[in-house]
Amino acid sequence: MSEKKPQWPVASLAVLTGLNLLDYLDRTILGAVLPPLRAEMNLSYEQAGTIGTAFMLGYFLTSPLFGYLGDRMPRRGLMAAGVFVWSLGTLLSGHANGYLTLLCFRALVGFGEASFGTISPGWIADLFPARRRNNAITIFYFAIPVGSAIGYLLGGWIAARYGWRAAFLCAGYPGLLLAAVLFLLREPQRGQSDGGISSVSAGRPGWRVYRELWTFRRYVLVVAGYTAQTFAMGGFQIWAPTFLVEVHRMKLDAASFFFGASLAASGLVATLAGGFAATRWQRRTGTGYAWVLALSAAAAAPMAFAAFSLASPTAARIALVLTMFLIFLSTGPVNTLILEAVPPPMRASAMAASIFVIHLFGDLWSPKIVGHMADRWGDLQRAVFWTLPGALIVGAFFWTWLVFETRRELAKGVGSPSRAT
């Protein structure tokens, strides 16, 4: 029966984007409720940062499993199960009766999100040809700033009035119902927008696909830069509202509202502008995606230094908004490059491996590291200043290297993903 359903690429993209929005809402609501949660459970900065680390453990440790399954099994059921599980974990977080229980429930959220986040981009890539793919991926990932913003806005508003537990409950229930929406979609054939399954990778055995991924030069450079950027963003998402409360003396609901609204406005505009501009640049030169990545990271680093060092609350907030804007410019192109730097039958595995690496070496540790340094120095401002902007400099280095590597491949006339030698 399911094979008789029309694929409706635009409708499928709308459904997946809506679910991705819910994904990031559930993921980021923790940052909005962290001050009252920390006060109730009497947690140190480092313990509070570890809650974010627990989510990442559930997320990145299971992503290789879902990447393996996503390249070999029907994807719709895997994605629907992921939506249900992460929503259940969010709901249970509101019922946590202790710190260790909360860590377990946040890890469960990560487990569910790993399935959806690993498999859905490849589904979209199979629906849209290369000339339209980056725009479609950009629309899908514009849910990051919007969903994250709603998480901060909703979480901060509810926590200030009804307590932090109520925020998790309100966020968790919708996903338990919306998981079923995926069964209305027809699953596309893998590689159908690239002429069908490529003989280069068809029939590749088992887990060796993950070792082979690291033979593609551009893929390695994209992921390396993305790891550094993810380290910075992980620290921003957990600690920015708390930074505004403790350093600039804003009230919790005001800080959450400001950060959420700024995230929505800057992220939405930057994600769409960066993605669509990169598409036009890519069509003209073949290096547009790489240039947007390199320039956005290079510009974001000094702006982040300013955001965490300026004494004026107004100037600091403006710099924080501009930093987020610059970071989000790369959202569409970086994920498109992850998918296009490898053959089509490896896309779920490529996304899974990137998720594993960017979180293992990125935001798995950044909230905890910032918290540890804040405890040690007794100064949250000093902790964020010396960690997060520097990570953006590292990202700019790898993505600038990516520009030159892309040029080299174009000069050699490489027409398919190129392996390192």
pLDDT tens per residue across span 8-36: 888 889 999 999 998 988 888 888 888 88
Q: What pLDDT is attached to residue 365?
A: 81
Q: What confidence tier does 273 reach under pLDDT thresholds 50, 70, 90?
A: very high
Please state the pTM of the whole predicted model: 0.77
Residues 6+ apart with CB under 8 A from 243: 308, 380, 381, 384
Please write the tens of the pLDDT for every residue from 61-97.
Answer: 888 888 888 888 888 899 999 999 999 999 999 999 8
Query: Mean pLDDT across the stretch 268-285?
Result: 93
Q: Which CA distances in Å does 61 have to 54, 144, 285, 331?
A: 11, 21, 37, 23
Q: What pLDDT is attached to residue 323?
A: 94
Query: For 2-412, CATH number?
Result: 1.20.1250.20
Query: Mean pLDDT across the stretch 164-171?
Result: 91
Q: What pLDDT is attached to residue 417?
A: 65
Task: Evaluate if residue 196 carries a pLDDT over 70.
Answer: no
Q: Is the CB of residue 2 less than 8 Å from the CB of residue 187?
A: yes
Residues 6+ apart with CB under 8 A from 355: 59, 60, 63, 67, 114, 117, 118
| Geometric angle at alpha carbon 270, from 267 and 271, rounded to 5° | 75
Query: And the tokens for 415?
Result: 């027409």
Task: Evaluate if residue 411 carries a pLDDT over 90.
Answer: no
Beta bridge partners of 216: 419
Q: Outline where 128-204 has alpha helix (H).
A: 130-141, 143-162, 164-178
Task: Evaluate if residue 416 carries a pLDDT over 50.
Answer: yes
Spatial separation of the C-alpha atoms in residues 239 and 373, rounded to whole Å: 12
382: exposed, middle or buried (Cβ count in 10 Å: 0-12, 13-18, 19+): middle
Please write the tens of the pLDDT for every residue from 310-354.
Answer: 999 999 999 999 999 999 999 999 999 999 998 888 888 899 899
Q: What confidence tier does 201 reach under pLDDT thresholds 50, 70, 90?
A: very low
- Among 151-160, 204-213, 369-378, the range scoring the smallest mean pLDDT is 204-213
Q: Helix/strand/coil (H, E, C) string of 318-374?
A: HHHHHHHHHHHCCHHHHHHHHHHCCCHHHHHHHHHHHHHHHHHHHHCCHHHHHHHHH
Q: What confidence tier does 2 reach under pLDDT thresholds 50, 70, 90?
A: very low
Query: Mean pLDDT across the stretch 37-55?
Result: 86
Report the amino acid identity of residue 221. L
Backbone angles phi, psi at 174, to 5 degrees: -55, -40
Q: Is the CB of residue 380 less than 8 Å from the CB of residue 139?
A: no
Q: What confidence tier does 415 reach under pLDDT thresholds 50, 70, 90?
A: low
Task: Evaluate if residue 3 carries a pLDDT over 50.
Answer: no
Q: What pLDDT is attached to residue 414?
A: 60
Q: Which CA distances in Å does 279 have to 97, 206, 285, 330?
A: 48, 34, 10, 12
Domain boundaries in the chain?
2-412
Q: What pLDDT is attached to residue 137?
A: 92
Spatial separation of the C-alpha atoms in residues 325 and 269, rounded to whole Å: 8
